Amino acid sequence: MREAISGRAQNWPWRENMKVDEYEVPEDLYYTREHEWARVLEDGTVVMGITDYAQKQLHEIVNVTLPELGARVKQMEPFASVDSVKATSDIYAPVSGEVIEVNEELLDRPELLNEDPYGRGWIAKLRPPSREQLESELANLMDAKRYADYIKEEGSGSG
């Protein structure tokens, strides 16, 4: 199965990427206003991580606190964090669900969040309580075009 977990997300030939200034915005993902991404897999689970915009704003990421396996999270509640040379930032759950897998490689190599935020830098895999709830919560997130417009606005407001 072609998933973020495979570590090949950056090189997927079928994935279309938008560019907003120097930021990559893959078109097959959902996005939060806090700069997390979510990919719905064929089995209904969701892989998530932080966006290219987020990792570039944070600069060098030096530590990651992962969520606990089995933890039940609610949409847009903090459930993990990253430490960079600039700050500590909460990571928010893009959808509700149970944490069924975490990317333990980040504990030894937090720089993967900078190097490959949409591939090897994934953070967690969540199992939503139901397909209906997942679809309802995905409606609260942005598609790639809306997210691209959002980061353009954020960028122009930070001058």
Give residue-wise pLDDT tens across range 52-97.
999 999 999 999 999 999 999 999 999 999 999 989 999 999 999 9
Using the structure block, give the residue that is written with the tokens 């897998």.
101
In the predicted structure, residue 43 carries a pLDDT above the cut 60 = yes
Q: Up-side HSE of residue 153: CA atoms within 13 Å toward CB?
A: 7
pLDDT > 70 in the chain, percent: 87
Domain range list for the chain: 4-157
> pTM of the full predicted structure?
0.87
Q: How far apart are CA 34 and CA 159, in angstroms?
A: 19
Assigned fold of 4-157: OB fold (Dihydrolipoamide Acetyltransferase, E2P) (2.40.50)
CA distance 96 to 1: 23
3-state secondary structure of 79: strand
End-to-end CA distance of the chain: 43
Please give the C-alpha separations between residue 24 and each of 90, 100, 106, 136, in angstroms, as whole numbers: 21, 27, 21, 26
Query: Which range, of 5-9, 36-40, 99-103, averages the lowest pLDDT?
Result: 5-9
